[in-house]
Structure 1
Amino acid sequence: MKSDDPLLRLLVCPLDKGPLVLDEPGCALYNPRLRRRYPVVDGIPQLLPASGEPASDEELARLPGRPHTL
């Protein structure tokens, strides 16, 4: 998945229905509000609530457009 993919505007977190942020390599989508990480496997976002994992402070700080301190 790439950052310019139009699908990104439609994808939302399965828990709070808010927007997600794609990391630079395109291998995960993040919900910084809930501090959750959803993997992207073979270009397919895994957006089931059970697929979400807790995101670390370091991961969230590296997201594009996010401040370096949380």
Structure 2
Amino acid sequence: MNSDDPLLRILACPLDKGPLTMPVGQDVLYNPRLQLRYPIVDGIPQLLPSSGSRVSPEEHERYVSSSD
């Protein structure tokens, strides 16, 4: 999966149902509203609520700036 994959437009966070971003060079999907990242394993997004992990404020800034 890459950042311009059409699938990214329809994937949603399992918690708030909002859109996700894919930071450049990362194998994660990111929800900036909840500051949660979801891993992508072997090209498959792991979008179970329990798969999400909270990020630090520094990581949040890095993810937000790289997905613009």
What residue is the counterpart of 1:4 in the other structure?
4
Question: Residue 62 of structure 1 aligns to a residue in which SS?
Answer: helix
- CA shift for structure 1 position 33: 0.5
- CA shift for structure 1 position 29: 0.6
- CA shift for structure 1 position 26: 3.6
Contact persistence 1:3–1:26 (CA under 8 A): no
1:44 counterpart = 2:29: no
Quote the sequence identity (%): 63
CA distance in 1, matches of 2:26, 2:58: 16
CA distance in 2, matches of 1:43, 1:23: 15
Deviations 1:2-61 (A, max 9, x none): 011000000000000000010112400111111111001111100000000001212221
CA RMSD of aligned residues (A): 1.0
In structure 1, stretches of 5+ residues that fail to align are 66-70
Matched residue count: 65
Scaled by the length of structure 1, the TM-score of the pair is 0.85
1:25 counterpart = 2:30: no
CA distance in 1, matches of 2:60, 2:40: 16
Q: Which runs of 4+ in 1 moved over 6 A?
A: none
CA distance in 2, matches of 1:20, 1:56: 17
What residue is the counterpart of 1:14 in the other structure?
14
